[in-house]
Each structure stands twice: as C-alpha cells, then as structure tokens.
Amino acid sequence: MFSIESFYYVLYTNLLKPLNINGKYFYPFGSTDVNDLIRMVYSWQGSRVMHDCVFHDQEPIFNETIDKLIVSYEFTTCKKINILANSEYSEVKRSICKQNHLLDWYYFYHGFAALAWYRDYQYFSEVEFQYTKVFMSLNRLATNDRSYRLALVSLFLEKNLLDKGVVSLHLNDQGWGDWKAELASTDTKLSPYQIEFVNKHVNQLSGSIIADTDQPRGSLSADAGPNELKFNQSALWHVVSETVFYYDKLHLTEKTFKPIVSKRPFILVAAPGNLAYLKSYGFRTFDRWIDESYDDEKDHQTRLEKIVTEVEKLCDLSPADLKKMHQEMREILEFNFNHFYGEFKTIIVRELLDNFKGIAGQWNNGRVDDRNMDLSLLDFPTIEKRLLQ
C-alpha cells in the first residue's frame, strides 16, 4: 500500500498529469485554510490553461470553505476549479457542486489513510490481549463540531459507567477552546438541556479524563504499533467518536477502522446513516448483540441516549456473559479484519477509478467546456493493478 503522504502525488501522476489537469491539496493534514493549498507540478499543453482539481477529502465540506476557494481562484491563472475531489456524501456537497459547476469526484479517502496507517497490524502474531474493561471511548477534541462528546461522557458519568470503560475527555482543545467556553458560546451546537446537563456532570470532574496521554497530538488516531494494539484491545467494545455527528453527511474517518484492525466490536457515535454507510463497503456489524437502531435516529440527544443505553446494558453483563459474547462474535471480528486487508482495498480503488471515469464522461458531455478528456491516454487496468500493489 502506498503511503498516505504520497496519496495525492500517486493520483496526480497516474490520472491527472496525463490529461493535463493540475491538482491542489491541503497541507498540513486536516487543514481547510485556502492559504495551506499546495500546488502540484504544472504540466502545460501548448499555451492552453490546464484544468484544476482541488482535493478536499480530509475534512467535511462546508459552504464557507468552498466560497473561499472559489474567491481565491479568481486571482489565479486557471480562474476556476473544475473538479472537487472529496470523501463524503451529502446534500450540501451536491448543492455546492451544482451551484459552482464542479465535477464531483468521490472516493473513500480515510479508507486509504487507514490502510496506510494500520498496515502493520496484519503482520502481528495472533496474540489476543485480554480486555480488562467493557468499553473504550476516546474523546480528544470536545468543542465546536465535537461538542457532542461532552454530552456523551456526561451520560457515562450520570450512569456511573466510567469504572467499566477506558474513557478520555480532554476539556481543553489546545488552542481551540475549552469546555466552559463551549457551553457559554452562542454558536454551540449543544441544546439548552445539554448545556445544563453537561455543566452539572463535567463540573464534578477535577480535570480532564486521561486514558492514553495527557498531550494528544492531531495524528494520534494514526498511531498503530504493538503498544497501540495492546491499548486498543484493553477494552472489548469500542464506542467510536467520529468527526461528523451534527451534520447530515456520510463521512467516516480512520477512527472507525481502529476497532476493526484490533478485532473488536464497535458502536459508531456519528451522523445518522453512517453505520449503514460502512456496511455498504462490505463490513459486518453487531445487531445480534446490541440494538443498532441508533444509526437511524435523527435527534442528536436521543441518538446519544440510545448509544449509552446499549453501553449500559453491556456493562451490566457478567464477565462470563461478556466472554461468551466475545466468542460468539469472533467470526465477524475475523471477517472484518480480513475484509479490511483484502477486498476492501480492491473496492475503494475500483470505486475511485470508476468515479473518475464518471466525471470524465460528464466533462466530455459538455459539463465543463469544449476541451475533452482523452481517456485513451490512461491505461486503467495497469493503473488499477499499480494502485492495488
């Protein structure tokens, strides 16, 4: 698997450069600041200005970011963006692409990132570290769009579940704000009820709840060595706090794949529909043992309450019942592990290439201008084989 650090260069050299398409991506990882756009090497074809593809696939897409991108392009040679490479399904994205005449090139970026970052786990020996806790819930950022994590951990506190879990909650987001400022903000996404609820329970804490480190880095979820595996397996169930919770988006990150490569069952704390979204890529989930209807719940507070209800039920089980449950689900845990390192890669590589062909077809049907993409310049079977190495 090629490194995620070379991801954009791999796509540029294999797909964009032969068609005289320039590419730009955000760096450092996770930025959406237009000043952090990195331009790839130009490839002029005569005196014609090339087309442009912007890779906005690391973070969720919002109107504000795209508006700034569009404005910034007015001062460049290319004048406009033609292709928006992205990693989400949402009405917001569809509307943005339609309004700005952008070709929508979707692929599962964080699937590629997870395959790169977690590649070593498939080579570890079949050592199963014994879990000592029922569940794990890691919450590094807890303000702004991640403020739901304050409400989640407050529910754990209310139900006295912390002793049964490996739980973290960092109350200061290192430059992004702290939990008290979040509760006081007029822009908070927490409801008045949640503000009162969080204030009641988090105020009882002496400080942040630390599970793995008191100095979490932005790339912490990418760590994947033997020590991380032992830590990941210290709890049975993973309650995964995803990036997107409040918005109507299908968007998952590498966090979701950590329990999969650690051979652990999981519950997704995400926007509605994302568990079904993951299943659409061939993964199996755990509705035999828990109620997964939380994935259909639109109300944010109710969704959290449904999730915590399932966690509470798991915490009420005896050690013998938990062991029996773990044995019963081993087939699914092994399947997901093998699927991740096997067919999943083929699925997302083919999806990326098929969707590129799709936007090329739209381009050549007049969606952009009168200059066609000459797909005969690309040997797709060879490119697919190269990307699957």
Q: Which of 35-49, 152-166, 251-265, 337-351 has the lowest mean pLDDT?
A: 35-49
Structure confidence at residue 370 as a pLDDT band (50, 70, 90): low
Closest CA to 110 of 37, 33, 57, 62: 57
How far from chain centre, in Å, is Cα 208? Answer: 24
User: Which tokens is 193 given?
Assistant: 């009820």
Average pLDDT over residues 190-218: 87
Structure confidence at residue 373 as a pLDDT band (50, 70, 90): confident
Q: How far, in Å, CA of 5 to CA of 25, rounded?
A: 11
Please write the tens of the pLDDT for every residue from 156-168. Answer: 999 999 999 999 9
Structure confidence at residue 175 as a pLDDT band (50, 70, 90): low
- Comparing 110 with 47, which gets the higher pLDDT? 110
Please check the confidence at residue 75 and state whether its pLDDT lies above 70. Answer: no
Q: How far, in Å, CA of 82 to CA of 364, rounded?
A: 13
User: Which tokens is 91 given?
Assistant: 């009405």
Please write the tens of the pLDDT for every residue from 325-352. Answer: 999 999 999 999 999 999 999 999 999 9
Beta strands, E only, the chain: 21-26, 37-39, 51-56, 83-86, 89-90, 103-106, 133-137, 165-167, 235-241, 249-250, 266-269
Please write the tens of the pLDDT for every residue from 205-236. Answer: 999 999 976 555 455 566 778 899 999 999 99
Average pLDDT over residues 189-217: 88
Query: Mean pLDDT, the chain, as a whole number?
Result: 91
- Comparing 370 with 141, which gets the higher pLDDT? 141
What is the CA angle 322-237-338, rounded to 5? 105
Structure confidence at residue 47 as a pLDDT band (50, 70, 90): very low
